[in-house]
């Protein structure tokens, strides 16, 4: 440990007894102190201390010199190179105890974060067995991004948040173990959103146990719960994320589970921040409701029953998500019914006199209410476009206003005077290109 400082020391209120005992107060003033340059580069503007003492240390309360005098400790402008615009002030009372230790109790405050008020208590042991500890606690207080981001050394991300926090910490030192820190941070309730409101997380709760406070790191298996997460048009519920914070520089997401489309999605481990290639993960999907999924992906305004499962590889880079070879399928032997309302997009740009138009017109009519035996969904993206291919095998729930025309070799639409045709089994292939990033794009500085 490298320490640099300017120091003035004086002894006052000295009392000498005939039995050679002595009591008094050492007044000490230090300025420009620097501590722990290899870890957090702590610096202190000024320390003013009144240190009480009795020599030799009293063995009982009836010492000839009487009770030890009280002392005080005032430390102003405690800062760290990690967050240089945040300074702390300390006010404490000191008392020499019967066990040859110095007791300290007081408060720690931050002028720029007035609601956060820390209380602490500890002891410092004397030579030859020098040691000490300090316990800190901070009652619940509210913090929002407008208070903290202006104080950070780097430009803050495009996020707004409001959090209800509390926490505690412990600092211990002795000659053998050196400096050891630990603590916890609890978010009782929190909300996070980006500035253009395309991302929002509400009902954030967590209790993080730290095993180091100077270079923040946590124990493995920490958890954060989120009631709802909205990413563009995608809506997730009841997220449970397990993670580890590594020395303040990276965060490892061990796994995550979240409800989506009334089903369940889980992921494998992932490290933040991502590397140059961006973020890559696989979403393992279990029984997602197909009508809700189609609606959230922007494919159709849909209703009905039935679910699909499978995997969706997802990449995130430069503010954009992409899907690659995502494949979802219905449970074998379990079908469903799909009702699509806005099917007119299937005919967009198709000439009415083309053979393709009549085929898509029939598919469009069938999808208005279709009973399927099995379904598959393939998801890929190219630049800012999501390409979705849906295959359905089944039959329309009702007769369709089409009859087969032998002359042209295809089905043609008929008016209401014709009963139309009952289809007993058909396979529908639906290909869509969706402007995916219009409703799922984050700001480029989100990750």
pLDDT for residue 210: 93
- Tokens standing for 139? 């009652």
Most confident region among 30-34, 99-103, 203-207, 342-346 by mean pLDDT:
203-207
Could you state, in order of their start, the residue ranges of all structural domains in the chain? 1-127
**Cβ atoms 323, 380 nearer than 8 A:** yes
* Average pLDDT estimate for 178-204: 91
Summarised one tens digit per residue, pLDDT across range 312-352 is 999 887 767 788 999 999 988 889 999 998 888 888 878 88
Q: What is the pLDDT of residue 107?
A: 93
Rg (the chain; Cα; Å)? 34
Question: For residue 446, is pLDDT > 50?
Answer: no
Question: What pLDDT score was predicted for residue 152?
Answer: 61
Q: What would the pLDDT profile of 36-54 be if each residue is shown by its tens digit? A: 555 556 778 888 888 776 6
Is the CB of residue 228 less than 8 Å from the CB of residue 192?
Answer: no
pLDDT in tens, 58-73: 555 555 445 566 788 8
Of the pLDDT bands very low, low, confident and very high (cuts 50, 70, 90), residue 23 is low
pLDDT at residue 444, as a whole number: 42
Encode pLDDT of 139-160 as tens digits: 999 988 887 776 665 555 677 8
- C-alpha to C-alpha distance for 214 and 82, rounded to whole angstroms: 10
Q: Which two tokens stand for residue 205?
A: 């709760």
Q: What pLDDT does 1 receive?
A: 43
Task: Say if CB 167 and CB 186 are below 8 A apart.
Answer: yes
């Amino acid at each position: 440990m490298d320490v640099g400082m300017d120091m003035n020391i004086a002894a006052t209120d000295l009392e000498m007894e005939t039995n050679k005992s002595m009591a008094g107060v050492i007044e000490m003033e230090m300025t420009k102190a620097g501590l722990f340059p290899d870890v957090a580069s702590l610096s202190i503007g000024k320390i003013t201390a009144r240190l009480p003492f009795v020599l030799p240390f009293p063995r009982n309360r009836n010492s000839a010199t009487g009770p030890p005098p009280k002392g005080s400790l005032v430390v102003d402008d405690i800062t760290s190179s990690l967050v240089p615009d945040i300074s702390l002030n300390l006010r404490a009372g000191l008392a020499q105890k019967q066990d040859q230790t110095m007791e300290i109790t007081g408060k720690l405050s931050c002028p720029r974060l007035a609601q956060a008020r820390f209380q602490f208590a500890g002891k410092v042991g004397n030579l030859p067995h020098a040691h000490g500890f300090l316990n800190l606690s901070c009652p619940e207080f509210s913090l929002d991004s407008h208070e903290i981001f202006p104080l950070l050394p780097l430009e803050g991300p495009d996020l707004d948040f409001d959090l209800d926090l509390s926490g505690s910490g412990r600092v211990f030192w002795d000659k053998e173990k050196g400096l050891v820190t630990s603590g916890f941070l609890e978010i009782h309730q929190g909300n996070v959103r980006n500035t253009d409101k395309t991302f929002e997380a509400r009902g954030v709760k967590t209790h993080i146990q730290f095993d180091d406070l100077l270079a923040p790191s946590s124990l493995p298996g920490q958890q954060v719960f989120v009631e709802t997460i909205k990413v563009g048009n995608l809506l997730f519920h009841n997220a449970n994320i397990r993670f580890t914070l590594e020395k303040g520089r990276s965060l490892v997401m061990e796994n995550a589970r979240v409800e989506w489309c009334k089903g369940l999605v889980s992921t494998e481990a992932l490290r933040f921040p991502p590397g140059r290639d961006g973020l890559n993960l696989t979403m393992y999907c279990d029984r997602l409701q197909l009508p809700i999924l189609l609606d959230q992906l922007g494919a159709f305004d849909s209703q009905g029953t039935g679910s699909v499962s499978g995997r969706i590889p997802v990449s995130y880079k430069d503010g954009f998500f992409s899907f690659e070879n995502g494949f979802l399928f219905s449970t074998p032997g379990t079908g469903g019914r799909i009702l699509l309302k806005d099917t007119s997009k299937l005919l967009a740009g198709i000439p009415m006199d083309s053979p393709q138009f009549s085929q898509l017109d029939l598919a469009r009519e069938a999808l208005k209410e279709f009973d399927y035996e099995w379904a598959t969904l393939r998801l890929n993206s190219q630049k800012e476009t999501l390409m979705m291919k849906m295959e359905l095998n089944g039959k329309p729930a009702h007769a369709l206003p089409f009859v087969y025309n032998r002359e042209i070799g295809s089905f043609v639409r008929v008016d209401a005077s014709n009963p139309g045709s009952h289809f007993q089994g058909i396979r529908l292939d639906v290909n869509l290109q969706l402007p995916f990033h219009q409703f799922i794009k984050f700001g480029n500085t989100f990750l």
